[in-house]
Chain A
Amino acid sequence: LRPPAVSSKVFVQRDYGSGTISKFQTKFPSELESRLDKQQFDETIQTLNNLYAEAEKLGGKSYLEGCLACLTAYTIFLCMETHYEKVLKKISRYIKDQNEKIYAPRGLLLTDPIERGLRVVEITIYEDRSIGSGR
């Protein structure tokens, strides 16, 4: 069975309305209309935005981490994983999960934004193959 071919790619751009925090636009791309429900797409993007917000959250914990790092002349980063990195791993797992459950069955593939420098969420659309048709 031949593997599917790439039809096109959709890029979900960053939303800078709230400043420089990592946040992606929730506008539903028209190319996905035939493949995906708007609600599912919304949910994926919102969850990603929430996860990035968690990574970049300014609170007691992050300040404590920052102060501790400063006191140790930032050498602590050599042996400790930062909070941001932990959340990035969580995001990777979430994207894998979403791909397996929702996107792959519809001939789509989400690319982790970190692979694109947190610029875009890249969604690859594979050509649909009806049974019996071949290219």
Chain B
Amino acid sequence: MKNCEYQQIDPRALSVSPMSAQNRAEMKAQRSRRKWEVFPGKNRFFCDGRIIVARQSGVLPLTLGLIVVTCGLFFAFDCPFLVEHLTVFIPVIGGVLFLFAVISLLRTSFTDPGILPRATPEEAADIEKQIDTSGSSTYRPPPRTKEILINQQVVKLKYCFTCKMFRPPRTSHCSLCDNCVERFDHHCPWVGNCVGKRNYRFFYSFIISLSFLTSFIFGCVVTHITLRSQEGKSLIQAIQESPLVICFFSIWSILGLSGFHTYLVASNLTTNEDIKGSWSSKRCTEESGNPYSYNNIITNCCVTLCGPMPPSLIDRRGFVPLVEASPAASATEIELPPFLAKNDSNMCTRSTKDVLARMVHAFDSRGLCPPGTPKTTPVGVEVSSSPSAGCPLFSRSSRKRDSLHSSNPAFRLASPSPSLSRNTMILGEGPDVGFIPIP
């Protein structure tokens, strides 16, 4: 070990910020914003970040409308007759199926599908360092891939230029939502959201319950017409004009979709992989199978539908630290952890720091802060930006924040230490800065 003294880092110690009283007052006057307000993807948020949807709601209102109208007509016209002639359980079953379908639909639409937060500039620089061996700063490198072995199968990981990271396996970037989504299945316009790792089970239960619901309604309507026709033949023509034919066709498409997704679930595939034919036996010599499959239908089903529910990785309801313009700060200063003094400008300029200093000023971080922790005090944080991009510098300060909320209000992470919270902010679409290789 080297013969030097290390400054003991006390994770709980927060030094008194030598900020001026005026700055403090300014910060307090500014409204604190939640992270969903500065989210870089094209999603929209409601209920103060609790609900997340894609930018275009697509035909979600139409889907809901169709379901509600169809069920409404069923309850209004078919149920009275069938309750009289058959059993009272008909509307009960119909009601349960309807509720299940609608709740699943809303859950699918409003849940974070498994969005991966974008890489922080330091991470991006680190990755850049590892792959960039030559080239000038203005040259944009060709698309990068990285090959890894998963269960003796070669899998190519692609580099996402938007999110500045190598996509994990089975992750895909949705252009409509402008996010990388884990275990990306497809972007469903009917549901108005991407279908990915976190909401696939809701989507599946939605289409299954919808299949049951439509089949049930179809069956009841047919029974109704049959029973009525036994009473009086003149009714047949009138009922033949009913939307039975439309129902008939929509049922087959829903049943077809359910069947397709049942096949996907049983083989642990995503729609994306199936369409691209990623794991089909293209090569005659080598048998390329799905490396994620457990080769057991029941296990695959259980894993996809009943597996543990992963948490939301984007922190929607956490607070964004306030940004203060600091034109006097030098361009080589880099972002400091929250407990460092704001005007600690004697930063050493080692080569990695120079790279960081030239990075774009958009950051993303997920900060954890326990509620009511007395040790979290506002401190100043400074951030660098690329002088070539001409972006103004910002200094940020952390402030006491509420505990995290994800789409699941029950999910609360108590922060073990305020020092672990890196206070950063996404400033929308920042300018794309070319990476500069370290000499």
Contact = CB atoms under 8 A, between A and B. Distances in A.
B99 A73 contact: yes
Chain B: number of interface residues, binned into ranges? 35 or more
A114 B366 contact: yes
B348 A7 contact: yes
A117 B116 contact: yes
A57 B307 CA distance: 8
B7 A126 contact: yes
A82 B309 contact: yes
Nearest to A75: B103
Contact of B292 (A10, A19, A63): A19
Contacts of A85: 311, 408, 410-413
Contact of A107 (B6, B157, B170, B335): B6
A109 B9 contact: yes
Contacts of B142: none
A99 interface: yes
Given A6-B336, A115-B368, A19 B7 contact: no
A126 B325 CA distance: 26
Interface in B397-419: 408-417, 419
A131 to B, nearest CB: 5
Contacts of B99: 73
A54 to B, nearest CB: 10
Contacts of A108: 9
B313 interface: yes
Most buried by A among B310, B336, B348: B310
A42 interface: no
B377 interface: no
A13 to B, nearest CB: 8
Contacts of B299: 58
Contacts of B201: 66, 70, 74
A92 interface: yes
Given A92-B416, A131-B5, A81 B308 contact: no
B157 A88 contact: no
A129 B10 contact: no
Contacts of A93: 416
Given A7-B348, A96-B420, A119-B165, A83 B308 contact: yes
A106 interface: yes
A3 B150 contact: no
A114 B413 contact: yes
B420 A84 contact: no
Interface in B296-330: 299, 302-303, 305-311, 313-314
B347 interface: yes
Most buried by B among A17, A80, A93, A119: A119
Contacts of A56: 307-308, 310
A56 B306 CA distance: 11
Nearest to B347: A5
A130 B5 contact: yes
A32 to B, nearest CB: 12
Interface string B94-120: 000001100110010000000011011
A119 B116 CA distance: 9
Given A2-B341, A106-B6, A7 B350 contact: yes
Contacts of A43: none
Given A11-B123, A77-B410, A5 B340 contact: yes
A9 B126 contact: yes
A115 B413 CA distance: 11
A2 B344 CA distance: 8
A8 interface: yes
A44 interface: no
A98 B295 CA distance: 39
21 contacts: A2-B344, A3-B340, A3-B344, A4-B340, A8-B352, A18-B151, A19-B151, A20-B169, A34-B1, A58-B303, A65-B306, A80-B410, A83-B308, A96-B417, A107-B6, A107-B9, A117-B313, A119-B119, A119-B123, A120-B123, A122-B123
Across the A-B interface, give the 9 residue pairs with the lowest CB-CB distance, nearest first: A66-B306, A96-B416, A107-B6, A104-B9, A117-B117, A115-B366, A73-B103, A117-B313, A4-B7
Interface of A: 2-11, 14, 16-20, 34-35, 55-58, 62-63, 65-67, 69-70, 73-75, 77-85, 88-89, 92-93, 95-97, 99-100, 103-112, 114-120, 122, 124, 126-131, 135
Interface of B: 1-2, 4-11, 15, 99-100, 103-104, 107, 116-117, 119-120, 122-123, 126-127, 148-151, 155, 157, 165, 168-170, 182-183, 201-202, 205, 291-292, 299, 302-303, 305-311, 313-314, 334-337, 339-341, 344, 346-348, 350, 352-353, 365-368, 408-417, 419-422
Given A85-B411, A115-B421, 13 more contacts: A4-B9, A5-B347, A63-B307, A82-B308, A82-B411, A99-B420, A104-B8, A104-B10, A112-B420, A116-B117, A119-B123, A127-B348, A128-B7
